Amino acid sequence: QVQLVESGGGLVQAGNSLRLSCAVSGRTFSSYHMGWFRQPPGKEREFVAVISWDGGRTYYADSVKGRFTVSRDNAKNTVYLQMNSLKPEDTAVYYCAARLRIYSGVSYYTHDYAYWGQGTQVTVSS
């Protein structure tokens, strides 16, 4: 069974930074493309960023492009989301998710990811 555990969330002021981590266990980490999603209060879960299994490809939602950076360390079985210039509208529960690369490429869609973490709360105050 694959397990994903996010950490690094918290309360920050607008303009500041946070780095989220997602530790993966239970199977070879490099078998997975890794996505970050978020769910703002009262809204549906939405795509934030994705990184391919080897780190060679990254894609971002327009709302975070230029401010967030996704990266991974396959030796540490961990994916990161560096969030800079945070805005109040970034407030959400952030989730990491894993998609087996044998199923093809990276994806922006929640239904393409079989494994999810429990989420970590990020709150940005104005």
> Hey, is 39 helix, strand or coil?
strand
pLDDT for residue 27: 81
From CA 35, how far away is CA 32, in angstroms rounded? 9
From CA 17, how far away is CA 94, in angstroms rounded? 15
pLDDT for residue 80: 98
For residue 58, pLDDT over 80 is answered with yes
Report the percentage of the chain scoring pLDDT > 70.
99
pLDDT band at 10 (very low <50, low <70, confident <90, very high): very high
Q: Are strands 32-39 and 10-13 parallel, antiparallel or unpaired?
A: unpaired
| Chain mean pLDDT for the chain | 96
